[in-house]
Amino acid sequence: MVRYIVKRLGTSLIVVIGISIVVFVLLHFMAGAPGRSVLGPTASADAVAAFNREHGFDQPLVVQYLSYVSEVLRGNLGQSFKLNQSVSDLLSDNAGRSAMLSLAALVLAVIIAIPLGTYQATKRNSASDTALTGVTFLLYASPQFFIALLAIEIFSIKLGIFPSQASQSNSPFVIFTDPVAMALPVLTLAASNIAVFARYQRSSTLDQLGQDYIKVARAKGVSERGIIRNHLVRNSSLPLITLIGVSVPSLLAGNLIVESVFNYPGLGLLFINSLQREDYPVLLAYTLIGGVLTVLGTLIADVVLAAADPRIKLS
Amino acid sequence: MSAKTEQEPSPETSKDERVAASWRLPLTLKGVARYRLGLTGGCLVAFFILFSFLGPMVYQSNQNNVDTLNALLEPSSEHLLGTDAQGFDVLGRLMQGGQISLQIGFFAALIATVTGTLYGAAAGLIGGKTDAVMMRFVDILMAIPFLFVALIVSTRFNPSVLSLSIVLGLFSWLVPARLVRSEVLSLRTRDYVSAARSMGAGKWRLVLTHLIPNALGVVIVNITFQVADTILAVATLGFLGFGLSYPETDWGGQLSSGVNYLLSGYWWLIYPVGLCLVGLVLAFNLVGEALRDVVDKRRTV
């Protein structure tokens, strides 16, 4: 097990290094040297050149990359020239709120999707299963921003239950302190994941239902409910661990859309605003973090799955 | 112990699974229902193609000039779905947006499929260290949040059908590359491939005449999902304000300008375009699901 984890850590590290190179080079070609955009169109060419020289932007790309990496390793993610603030501060100000939003949506999605998918599989091909499959399929095909708009139309404009704007509080724990204002963002973010998770849970439960241990349990006289509760769910939910691990990119993308629709001050909204400001240091840092989170998600899922499922051969 | 792959969907990415995992449904009523659903999806796709490309010939409307005197009109016999804030006829605008969505969807899928197929086939066939390095590169790109990069790139390139297709296509070849590689790995040990090789067929000849045609099933299934994903991605870019600019238009951008009128109750600025988007994506997904069943069936035979 330890050897497996060490090996997975090693490959993940290589992938993270690769991500940093690709993203850095890409952003370099998109942004160019920031002197002109910082000093404005009226600044003289000399001033721009002096600015770029002072901040090391005239160095060869390899040198710039290495110095960026050595700064990042020391916890310095660069400087937002547009806001005159350190990128680390900007990101850490918003990270908690985004993390709590994603976590709440993820937990909600899992809590709903596991029973839903299991129910569908045990009642497979019934009218209710077909109807639920239709609903999840429809949800799956709907863009998140359209789900968000429908949610606003129904819950906020027609019914007036939830506000159409998320809480503007600075606290990352606003989900607990002001759940009414956070209901629609969490529900919207959860909705697409429910669709994906439930479909997956359904098919993995169907796979399990054909296994011998279910037949044995039935032959022993275990009730259908007992089979589902004690045997089925535990085994059929294992693959979901992997799915949650690889759903980090879609969660990040979801955050971007949901935070922008509901005006929730998190990393997603910061990213959108930075795009409009063409604030490339922020964009670079958050894209890198997104890549690292994606790798971490897969890594953790693999390790947890290997620990939870003794059938997996660690090779 | 091959129990793992048989008992559980393999722990690849969710998209790979959508394409590769078999659902093991009984080939009974459900099979017929799937076939019907696939057919429905196909008809919907055909409808949207006709609607977007032939529709403007039947239903003519002014899509070139801003007409503020006729802005935000309710649906009437003159404007079947009303007009938007610039005075454009909404139904005509939907057709234009549909053209853009379909063009970018197909073009990006084409770029992604050709690139991915060649890359995956090359990696699978060369094998060894080169294969390992090539696939690690795919892992790296796979872990970079695609929407982030697409948004960043769109700050520099003025979005057009061509530039969006290239950007979206160049970030979606990873899945077909993985699929084709694993197909090639399983195919290259087959007898007919060894036979061709022993007859002196060159590597590229092997790839082009034997391996790619046989891997075509998974590739085609992937294309339909790819088109759906691209249409969603274009709409998302448009909704966030990084889509096509005037006079071109896309569904995401139309929806985002309609949002301003959510409170005023101008439903024709939101629901028609939202339904088109969901309908088209759903249609491609239905076709993909049905095609995958066909490909899987062929495989188990």
d(CA B296, CA B301): 9
> Residue B177's pLDDT band (boundaries 50, 70, 90)?
very high
With CA atoms as reference, the chain A residue closest to B18 would be A200
Single-letter code of the amino acid located at B60: Q
Single-letter code of the amino acid located at A301: A
Q: Output the pTM of the full model.
A: 0.84
Instruction: Give percent above pLDDT 90 in chain B.
Output: 20
Task: Supply the pLDDT for residue B13.
Answer: 41
In contact, B277 and B235? CB cutoff 8 Å: yes
Q: Which long-range contacts (CB under 8 A, 24 or more apart) does B103-107 make?
A: B103/B161, B103/B165, B104/B161, B104/B164, B104/B165, B104/B168, B104/B230, B104/B231, B104/B234, B105/B227, B105/B228, B105/B230, B105/B231, B105/B234, B105/B284, B106/B227, B107/B161, B107/B162, B107/B165, B107/B169
Tokens of B127: 């094998």
Q: Decide if A9 touches B, using CB distance below 8 A.
A: no
> Residue B29's pLDDT band (boundaries 50, 70, 90)?
low
Task: Supply the pLDDT for residue A106.
Answer: 92
d(CA A260, CA B44): 31
With CA atoms as reference, the chain B residue closest to A282 would be B152
d(CA A219, CA B235): 53
Examine the pLDDT at B7 and tell me if it is beyond 60. Answer: no
Residues of chain B with C-beta less than 8 angstroms from the C-beta of A275: 151-152, 155, 242
Could you say which of A150, A247, A287 has the minimum Cβ distance to residue B152? A287
To the nearest whole Å, the CA of B133 is away from the closest chain A CA by 11
Task: Supply the pLDDT for residue B43.
Answer: 92
Query: Which H helix or E strand runs over A86?
Result: strand A85-86
Q: Decide if A294 touches B, using CB distance below 8 A.
A: yes
Q: Which residue has the tokens 């003794």?
A: A310
Sequence-separated (6 or more) residues with CB below 8 Å from residue A182: A101, A104, A166, A167, A174, A175
pLDDT tens by residue, A58-79 = 888 888 899 889 888 888 888 8
pLDDT tens by residue, A186-211 = 999 999 899 989 988 888 888 888 78
If one counts every other C-beta atom within 10 angstroms of the C-beta of residue B19, the result is: 22
Sign for the CA dihedral angle at A213, A219, A225, A230 comes to negative
To the nearest whole Å, the CA of B264 is away from the closest chain A CA by 10
Task: Supply the pLDDT for residue A313.
Answer: 62
**How many helices and strands, by DSSP H and E, does chain B display?**
14, 0
> Residue B297's pLDDT band (boundaries 50, 70, 90)?
low
Task: Supply the pLDDT for residue B278.
Answer: 93
> What is the CA angle B223-B225-B227, rounded to 5?
70
Task: Supply the pLDDT for residue A30.
Answer: 83
Beta bridge partners of B89: B83
Pick the more confident residue, B22 or A168: A168
Could you say which of A141, A275, A305 has the minimum Cβ distance to residue B282? A141
Question: What 3-state class would DSSP assign to A79?
Answer: strand
Residues of chain B with C-beta less than 8 angstroms from the C-beta of A211: 7
In contact, A304 and A293? CB cutoff 8 Å: no
Q: Decide if A289 touches B, using CB distance below 8 A.
A: no
